[in-house]
């Protein structure tokens, strides 16, 4: 096993060297050198394995196991997370890749470059076909061992490097089922899901990003993607806030810090030029169905809230009443926002909901009573909400 510890250390050293190099400026020559290093290491280790097998030092079973482990380590290096974040929308999206490990240069070189040019006579030079074969073998192993979350994550990253986003989404979905509170997994899942939908973060990708931030508020890639989602919908002030939160998380004076600051400055400048949005606010009435009145007590809490018809699931604005107040008029606006990045005015269409909670807890529980409106404009008037359903 010492052989593989040496390999792991060498790959880690190569990755560290890449991290320290400028991400968004010239450097293709140096990244190519890093690629050559990884290929050379892989080739040498394969030769050692073959030599040990030929000399009778390794049994065939041990050889196959060692080769699989070597391939898995190479895929880890090739399929480093965060490689697709910079493909989405101008300078704002450069933040995501600036916040991630910049091994995409190595990955792309393996996939679309000519590694054989380093040594065309080398028997074990790593080619795109070999990478594809490794990924295929990993996929086969995951079908045999479907409960390994780390394996699904690695498979998802590998598919993403190869540009096979649909398959990457499927692999990440399986990983997320097994590790639902892994913020890095959720951010990577959001990344490939956005790429599979035309490089747009709106909708489910943004929900995954915000869930990652709920688990780890200072997750670098999730902050980058959350800012990008806000930038996409032209909420430049919110984009700047998310990106500003990245600055304390990177070394001061580094290329990453300068890139982040430049994008914050751009977002703030665009925000200053953006015309003020018209005041948004939803108004209407909440009523309790006659058939459910006996299931509620006068002192039970009533939560009245608005959420995006298409967007993050958390409420955009919330107010609290009691059952004794029903029927009750309501007005929901930006002053009732739960977080600065999820204001009612950011979303043109919303759904108004109401829920009676016996426990007073904001989280729905069996036995609560609820109802909701159809999607309406964010400045709609006369919205009617009927509480007519029991939470199961």
pLDDT at site 45: 64
Residue 122, burial from CB neighbour count under 10 angstroms (0-12, 13-18, 19+):
middle
| Cα dihedral 359, 363, 364, 365 sign | negative
Q: Is 321 helix (H, G, I), strand (E, B) or coil?
A: strand
Helices first, then strands: H and E counts in the chain: 13, 9
| Superfamily of domain covering 2-273 | Tetratricopeptide repeat domain (1.25.40.10)
Tell me how far apart the alpha carbons of residues 85 and 87 are, in angstroms, rounded to a whole number. Answer: 6
Residue 63, burial from CB neighbour count under 10 angstroms (0-12, 13-18, 19+): middle
Tell the residue number behind the tokens 């299931």, with chain if given: 295
Whether omega before 123 lies within 30 degrees of 0, making that bond cis, reads no
What's the pLDDT at 336?
85
Contact 341, 314 (CB under 8 A): no
Place of tokens 């009732």: 336
Does this model's pTM top 0.85? no
Q: What is the pLDDT of residue 40?
A: 53
Which residues lie below 8 Å from residue 322, measured CB to CB, with a gap of 6+? Answer: 298, 299, 300, 301, 302
What angle in degrees, to the nearest 10, is found between the helix axes of 236-244 and 220-232? 170
> What tens digit of pLDDT does each residue of 298-347 get?
999 999 999 998 877 888 899 999 999 999 999 998 888 877 667 888 88
Give the whole-angstrom CA distance, residue 101 versus residue 254: 14
- List strand residue ranges (DSSP E) for the chain, in order: 281-288, 301-308, 317-322, 328-333, 349-357, 369-372, 376-377, 383-387, 389-390
Position 337 scores a pLDDT of 80
Tens of pLDDT, residue by residue over 346-377, are 888 899 999 999 888 878 889 999 999 999 98
- The reported pLDDT for the residue numbered 372 is 93
- Single out the residue of 279, 284, 334 nearest to residue 304, CA to CA: 284
Please tell me the predicted confidence (pLDDT) of residue 16.
Answer: 40
CA atoms within 13 A on the CB side of 65: 7
DSSP H/E element including 336: none
Domain-by-domain residue ranges, the chain?
Answer: 2-273, 281-390
Residue 70 to residues 40, 48, 109, 151, 392, Cα–Cα distance (Å): 13, 12, 19, 14, 49
Question: For each of the chain's 392 residues, which pLDDT tens digit applies?
Answer: 444 433 444 444 444 444 433 333 333 333 334 444 454 555 566 666 676 777 776 677 776 777 666 666 555 555 544 444 433 333 444 444 444 434 433 443 343 344 444 444 444 445 667 778 888 888 888 888 888 888 899 888 888 888 888 999 999 999 999 999 999 999 999 999 999 988 888 889 999 999 999 999 999 999 999 999 988 888 888 999 999 999 999 998 898 999 999 999 999 999 888 665 555 689 999 999 999 999 999 999 999 999 998 877 888 899 999 999 999 999 998 888 877 667 888 888 899 999 999 888 878 889 999 999 999 988 899 999 999 999 98
Contact 231, 267 (CB under 8 A): yes
| Residue 147 token pair | 């409960």
Write the DSSP assignment of 269-295 as a string of letters.
HHHHHSPPPPP-EEEEEEEE-GGGGGG
Pairing of strands 369-372, 328-333: unpaired
Q: Is the dihedral of CA 288, 293, 295, 299 positive or negative?
A: positive
Supply the angle between the helices 60-78 and 2-19 in degrees, to the nearest 10: 10
pLDDT at 114: 44
C-alpha to C-alpha distance for 337 and 237, rounded to whole angstroms:
15
Beta bridge partners of 383: 284
């Amino acid at each position: 096993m010492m052989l593989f510890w040496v390999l792991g250390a060498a790959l880690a050293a190569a990755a560290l060297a890449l991290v320290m190099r400028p991400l968004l400026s010239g450097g293709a020559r140096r990244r190519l050198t890093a690629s050559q290093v990884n290929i050379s290491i892989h080739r040498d280790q394969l030769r050692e394995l073959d030599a040990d097998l030929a000399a009778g030092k390794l049994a065939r079973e041990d050889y196959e196991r060692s080769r699989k482990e070597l391939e898995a380590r190479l895929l880890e290096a090739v399929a480093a997370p965060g490689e697709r974040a910079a493909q989405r929308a101008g300078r704002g999206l450069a933040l995501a890749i600036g916040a991630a490990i910049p091994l995409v240069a190595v990955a792309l070189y393996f996939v679309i470059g000519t590694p054989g040019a380093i040594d065309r006579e080398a028997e074990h030079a790593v080619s795109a076909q070999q990478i594809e074969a490794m990924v295929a073998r990993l996929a086969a192993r995951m079908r045999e061992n479907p409960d390994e979350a780390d394996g699904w994550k690695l498979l998802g990253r590998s598919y993403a490097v190869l540009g096979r986003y649909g398959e990457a989404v499927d692999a990440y979905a399986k990983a997320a089922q097994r590790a639902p509170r892994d913020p890095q997994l959720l951010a990577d899942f959001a990344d490939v899901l956005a790429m599979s939908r035309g490089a747009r973060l709106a909708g489910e990708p943004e929900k995954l990003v915000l869930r990652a931030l709920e688990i780890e508020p200072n997750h670098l890639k999730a902050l980058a993607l959350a800012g990008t989602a806000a930038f996409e919908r032209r909420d430049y002030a919110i984009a700047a806030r998310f990106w500003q939160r990245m600055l304390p998380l990177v070394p001061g004076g580094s290329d990453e810090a300068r890139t982040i600051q430049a994008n914050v400055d751009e977002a703030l400048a665009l925000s200053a030029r953006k015309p003020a949005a018209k005041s948004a606010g939803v108004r209407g009435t909440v009523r309790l169905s006659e058939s459910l009145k006996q299931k509620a007590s006068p002192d039970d809490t009533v939560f009245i809230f608005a959420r995006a018809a298409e967007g993050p699931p958390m409420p955009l604005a919330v107010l609290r009443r009691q059952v004794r107040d029903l029927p009750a008029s309501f007005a929901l606006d930006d002053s009732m926002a739960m977080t600065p990045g999820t204001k009612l005015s950011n979303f043109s269409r919303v759904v108004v909901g109401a829920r009676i909670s016996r426990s007073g807890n904001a989280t729905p529980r069996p036995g609560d009573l609820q109802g909701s409106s159809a999607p309406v404009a964010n400045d709609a008037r006369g919205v009617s909400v009927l509480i007519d359903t029991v939470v199961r």
